[in-house]
Chain A
Amino acid sequence: MINAFLVFNGQGQPRLTKFYTQLDTSIQQRLISEIFTLVANRPKGSCNFLPLPPLLAASSTSTSSSEPHNDVPSLVTYRNYATLYFIIISTSTESPLALIDLIQVYVESLDRLFENVCELDLIFNFETLHATLGEMIVGGVVIETNMEKIVQGVRAQGTVAKRPVNESRGGGMGLGSGLGAGLGMGGNFVWSGR
């Protein structure tokens, strides 16, 4: 199952945190910053999987590697779009390559909802982020991967707000090009699960 879904930007500021098991706020923050240090230092062309952050590794290495524990989070998958990092922490019952696609589905769905999504949309509409995620994953289990249905489900809950007009794209924090540019990369991933 999926243990957590996180989004944060290039400075490590969280944009979405969803933990499917309860954690103290302080530990959540520590985990996020640990993952951020891991993710921020990836050399170019490295894979989309992270070694376990110390917080998680401490508990999982104590079980010998010979007997895999399907309950323990063992996989940290990430994907980088423009200024944002999307992270999934999951157990070994999830397929690593499919998780990469899952992040893609999520981002593409956001893109459809916001039309050319950029980080600003996500900052100001974090409720929509949650709603979109809620249409895809419930309780750590994937319930939908069809983009049409996800978008439809989110729209059924009400109109999706647009980013404030006076907030220019790429302004403020210097978060330049929208995620749309990142989305173009989608084609590179040949193992599309869909």
Chain B
Amino acid sequence: MPPRFEKSLYDLIRGLRNHKGNEKEYIQNCLKECRSEIKSQDMDVKATALLKIIYLEMNGHDMSWASFHVLEVMSSPKYHQKRVGYLGAVQSFKTDTEVLMLATNLLKKDLSASSPIVISLPIAALPHIITPSLALSVLADLLPRLSHSHSAIRKKTIVTLYRLALVYPETLRAAWPKIKERLMDKNEDPSVTAAIVNVVCELGWRRPQDFLPLAPRLFELLVDGGNNWMAIKLIKLFATLTPLEPRLVRKLLPPLTDLIRTTPAMSLLYECINGIIQGGILGDSEDDGREEIASLCVSKLRGMITFNGDANLKYVALLAFNRIVVTHPFLVAQQEDVIMECIDSEDITIRIKALDLVQGMVSSDNLVSIVSRLMRQLKTSTNSNNDQLDDLSTDSSEEMGAERRSRKRDEAPPLPEDYTIDVIGRILKMCSQDNYSNVVDFDWYIDVLTQLIRIAPASRKEVDSDGMALGAKSTTADIGESIGNELRNVAVKAKAVRVAAVRAAELIIAKLAMESTSHQVTSGSLKPVAWIAGEYAYHLSNPSDTLNHLLQLIPRIRPPEVLATCLQASMKLFALIAGNDQTSWTAERKSMVSLLMARVIHTYEPLVLHPSLEVQERAVEFTELLKLTAEAASAQAPSTDELEQDPPLLLTQAIPSLFQGWELNSVAVGAQLNVPMPEGLDLDEPIHPNLGSLLAQADSLMLPIQEDDEFAAYYNEKAAPTSISSEPAINRLRDAPETISSGSYQQATEDSYLDADIIARRKAERAERNRDDPFYIGDLGSPSRSQGTSTPIHNILQNENGPDLDIDSIPIMKLDLGAISSSGVGAGAGAPGTYQQPKPKSRPQIVVAADETLVGSRPSTPRTGSQHDSDADPSSTSAKSRAAKKLKQSLLQVDSSHLRNLSLEASQSDDSGALPHEKLAETDAEMAKAMKEVQRLRLEMQRANERIQVAQGVPTEGVVVKSKKKKKDKEGKKAKAKLEGGDGIDDEKEKKVKKKKKKAEAEAAEGAEGGVVIEGEPVGGEGEGEAVTVKKKEKEKVKKKKPKRIIQLDDDAGTGTGIGAEAGVEAGEP
């Protein structure tokens, strides 16, 4: 034998360490060596190569190609080689690994080995590779291991059976009585008991009702167990049981309280509290004892947060608070101070948990302070990241800002991205909750949104360049748009602040146009913001500038949907600027309008060939329309001193009329679905039998100019013509908008998180609004909603930065009680004119329009996802839940949905069959054996056929062989079997398979005399429609009685629910 030159694992690792820098090449070489070594006949070489491959797999080098060799090593008779093989299987086998089927017999054989360490291997490996069919095959071999003399084998078996049950629930039917017997046995090894408790705890939340009968024994274990690990699990288990059996609570309270007071183990203490919370024991507070326990828990949790600054305790306490807040928000609200501390923790994990919590306890009182805190965090983090500190934050919050900035710097660079997005999302959610019921100061909210838009894009760009995971990318790309959407929602819903929202949008557009002069526009906020600017163009302070900005931006926009919106918006703006029919058609105006049109056409024209249809259509439409208008304008001579000329009607009437119409209101999600189908409506029926000619006729019709005039007058003078609105009147009756009376509330420190220019604008705007606002001029004699008239009562809340206090930055609001009712009614009538019937002093009283919907009387805010389901009709709800289910499938998740459908209790007290689980186990085993028999027969047939074909010179490949098989009779095999020729199976493999099949045959023969197969059951994966039917023999039934007795015994020890029924069954049996 030649000397060995193969590397050992040790050599490989040393080599890796010595090849720093060019590891890749080294690893590729090693893999190449391994590939040849693993084919060696020498088992030692093979095993070593496999071990190296497993090591490389850990470092990310796929080893699925080696699965057959893994199997070879697994079957080695030497333990240390076998162990490597099993390790390879655990690390690399997937449920769809092909050789898994070949492994079945090996697993069965090793399960019945004599050496406990060998038995352990398949038991520990099975959870990693289990499939339903594999579970079916090995169950019979695994079950006896539950009573193995080694406790280590017993506890591993129990866990493996649990994993089997997850994919093949019938396992439990057979295994549960035995597991229960182990649990009840007081002489059982404590670590086996602990393992059972762990398994029961995992099963417990899936099907708590099945484990209620175990309560007395579990209680006993909890009280005298003395094992903290187990006690933790028991408490968790009880927490799932108590909701089903309230009487348990009284039993549990004394030991739990006792544990809380005495245990030195913090983990146990925490789990006791957690158990009390999760078990709903805090629940009703009629009982004095419970109130006491509630306060005990909360005070302990509070202690955990403050305790020594131990971060772990802080974290778990927050986790617990998160659970309490769902049911007992008031208990948590008392702890607001410590929780708010955690928001500023340098530890991101703790921060996020605290945020979760804060989201649950937000109210109109603390919203501003909470959001301010978060905004400050965001602002300082972006500042320190970008190193562009603006003067304002440095002087206002010198010490805090500096401190936080330094903290921020040593934080993870990738985290703030996610975190920023997360926080922004939460801010939006908190504010928009319940249709903005928590927001009292919308000006403040608009400023926050403006600031958020500035913070958000940076994060987005970075994510884009990273090319992150798809899921993450979509959420990050959305965040800018979400903020914009919020601004749009405010503009649509809160009419009183619409002007402010529009101005904010104007600024954002201006900033975007300035900022990114060369590269593409990435901010997702542009779409909603452009929409605002277009829709409410008449509120813009400078429409022509905004139009300019939009026209600049359009060529730099990539996403088609944003582009389409911007096209529409810029057209609306143009209509407003050029469409004024009051001013006369002077030469100056004519040239101005012509120039503007030329510019717009110039911008639109490249988009006429845009690949997105939506964009293309709009561009084509608008370009053609504008060209037409341009012709009309040039044809129309300007008015001179003598002759007054009207501007072209196309410009003043036609184009504006495209965009003027009814006020757009927000519509609830799913409202469309609630529109009842009118009777007699047949959507398949053509609208008009002669539609073509009708349309041709319509083309020749003139524009209904007069009607338009009438409308324009209507629109300008009074409230929008709601009477001709096409929406059903029922809408207006059903949803009375919420009226929010607001007090002024201002965090004086807001300049620490808002940019300087935003604040400056706030000030300027406040002054300006009173002077320039076109709306106020019309109705108000006095231009100022004078600041002196209202009293800033609450405005000096938390004035931390005294010197910086800017009285002007405090919005002035007045609570006008009279206005509440009147404007409330006005809005209730759905009239967009609520705000056109001006109450100069009523500004603080902001009416947030509820979403319009038909049937659902619940107002819903479109942006809170959780409410969507409630609005939708049942069919869409189910669709949604289906979708949710799909989404829910997480990476590492174990799917246990099958388990839910299985009922243990039912089977135990089932009258129809004596101990069906036993029978099932039996039949399962039989079926497994029979299946093997069938497979063996089929394989033999296949071989026979191949032999014949080879003999006849027919190529084996791709030939479909038909043969028949009668029951299990070898001579007359008549059952139809479509067998594909043995392509792909190389000789070596074939031999192997054969060997195994023989083994299977032997087993099957000894076990299943009579070879029982369930009727009509499709057998095996490749069995395509083949079914073997065999009658059940009487013998089998007789055999089944034995194990039943044992079960009877353990039921006596048990709690008694099933016993009566069980006994009855027995008595009734012959």
Contact = CB atoms under 8 A, between A and B. Distances in A.
A50 interface: yes
Interface string A123-159: 1101100110011001111111110010001001110
A97 B9 CA distance: 36
A193 B232 contact: yes
B316 interface: yes
Nearest to B190: A146
A23 interface: yes
Contact of B326 (A25, A66, A93): A66
Interface in B307-354: 309, 311-316, 319, 326, 346-350, 352
Interface in A83-127: 89, 93, 95-98, 100-101, 123-124, 126-127
Contacts of B887: 59, 62-63
Interface residues of A, number: 89
| Residue from B61, B80, B163, B309 whose CB has the most chain A CB atoms within 10 Å | B163
B155 A144 contact: yes
B325 to A, nearest CB: 11
A187 interface: no
A48 B63 CA distance: 33
Interface stretch (B260-268, B293-301, B452-460, B685-693): B260-268
Contact of B349 (A23, A47, A126): A47
Contacts of B469: 54-55, 58
B694 interface: no
Contact of A19 (B17, B889, B892): B892
Contacts of A131: 83
A143 B195 contact: yes
B778 interface: no
A92 to B, nearest CB: 9
Nearest to B230: A145
A71 B314 CA distance: 25
A95 B275 CA distance: 11
A190 B348 CA distance: 23
Contacts of A191: 265-270, 312-313
B1065 to A, nearest CB: 33
A64 B865 contact: yes
Nearest to B269: A191
Contacts of A190: 266
A54 B472 contact: yes
A143 B156 contact: yes
Interface in B881-936: 884, 887-896
Interface string A155-194: 0111000001001000011000000000000000011111
Given A51-B352, A126-B55, A190-B266, A62 B412 contact: no
A82 interface: no
Interface in B265-299: 265-271, 274
Contacts of B352: 51
A192 B410 CA distance: 31
A101 B274 CA distance: 18
A69 B229 CA distance: 22
A119 B316 CA distance: 30
Contacts of A100: 267, 312
B628 interface: no
A3 interface: yes
Interface stretch (B120-128, B521-529, B841-849): B120-128
Nearest to A166: B14
A135 B159 CA distance: 12
Nearest to A33: B60
Interface stretch (B199-207, B391-399, B664-672, B735-743): B199-207
Given A25-B61, A71-B896, A139-B127, A192 B265 contact: yes
A60 B79 contact: no
B60 A146 contact: no
A136 B1005 CA distance: 39
A58 B471 contact: yes
A22 B167 CA distance: 14
A194 B229 contact: yes
Contacts of B319: 96
Contacts of B313: 191
Given A22-B95, A139-B160, A126 B58 contact: yes
B312 A21 contact: no
B107 to A, nearest CB: 15
A143 B190 CA distance: 11
B142 interface: no
Contact of B892 (A3, A50, A127, A145): A3
Contacts of B91: 17
B149 interface: no
B646 interface: no
B51 interface: yes
A16 B348 CA distance: 26
B894 A98 contact: no
A48 B312 contact: yes
Given A54-B418, A140-B127, A21 B894 contact: yes
Interface in B1-60: 9-10, 13-14, 17, 51, 55, 57-60
Contact of A49 (B126, B309, B312, B412): B312
Given A98-B267, A138-B156, A139-B159, A72 B51 contact: no
B58 A16 contact: yes
B415 interface: yes
Given A62-B884, A192-B265, A95 B232 contact: yes
A54 B468 contact: yes
B381 interface: no
A14 interface: yes
Nearest to A8: B58
Contacts of B894: 1, 3, 20-21, 71, 140
B137 interface: no
Contacts of A192: 265-267
A65 B356 contact: yes
A47 B891 contact: no
B312 to A, nearest CB: 5
A167 to B, nearest CB: 8
Contacts of A57: 418, 472
A138 B266 contact: no
B327 to A, nearest CB: 11
A72 B895 CA distance: 9
Contact of A71 (B124, B347, B349, B893): B893
| Residue from A13, A48, A124, A134 whose CB has the most chain B CB atoms within 10 Å | A134
Interface string B119-161: 0100110111000000000000000000000001001100110
B707 to A, nearest CB: 49
A157 B119 CA distance: 12
Interface string B557-587: 0000000000000000000000000000000
Nearest to A64: B866
Nearest to A43: B346
B445 interface: no
Contacts of B201: 93
Interface in A23-62: 23, 25-29, 31, 37-38, 40-43, 45-51, 54-60, 62
A138 B62 contact: no
B948 interface: no
B407 interface: yes
A172 B17 contact: yes
A57 B265 CA distance: 31
6 contacts: A4-B892, A37-B412, A49-B315, A71-B894, A73-B890, A149-B191
The 9 closest A-B pairs by CB, nearest first: A191-B266, A139-B127, A41-B412, A47-B311, A58-B471, A97-B267, A46-B347, A59-B890, A3-B892
Interface of A: 1, 3-4, 13-23, 25-29, 31, 37-38, 40-43, 45-51, 54-60, 62-66, 69-73, 89, 93, 95-98, 100-101, 123-124, 126-127, 130-131, 134-135, 138-146, 149, 153, 156-158, 164, 167, 172-173, 190-194
Given A48-B312, A173-B17, 12 more contacts: A25-B63, A43-B346, A46-B347, A54-B472, A69-B888, A71-B896, A89-B892, A98-B229, A127-B51, A139-B160, A167-B14, A191-B269
